Amino acid sequence: MPKRILQGVVVSDKQAKTVVVKVERRFTHPLLKKTVRRTKNYHAHDENKAYKVGDTVSIVESKPISKLKRWTVVEPAAKA
């Protein structure tokens, strides 16, 4: 089974080797037929502390690294 890849914006880089990435998803509401935006924060592993707040990054699923970290940053999509 392929690993999921998500794209989002770094909202926190204060933790050691960890960044918090906000990922937004859009979907059509089943009853109202309007486009709805939902966001979720993911803790992702950043070994070299290379990413700062505002950077757009891609994250990929990985084995559990800690209590909250299940994702790893793979590449920057755009620097802030």
50: Cβ contacts below 8 Å, ≥ 6 apart? 73, 76
Rounded CA-CA distance 75/6 in Å is 11
| Domain of 54, in residue numbers | 5-78
Rounded CA-CA distance 54/5 in Å is 19
Domain count, the chain: 1
Each of the 80 residues of the chain gets a pLDDT tens digit; together they read: 889 999 999 999 999 999 999 999 999 999 999 999 999 999 999 999 999 999 999 999 999 999 999 999 998 776 66
Cβ(19)–Cβ(73) under 8 Å? Answer: yes
Length of the chain: 80
- pTM of the model as a whole: 0.88
CATH number at residue 58: 2.40.50.140
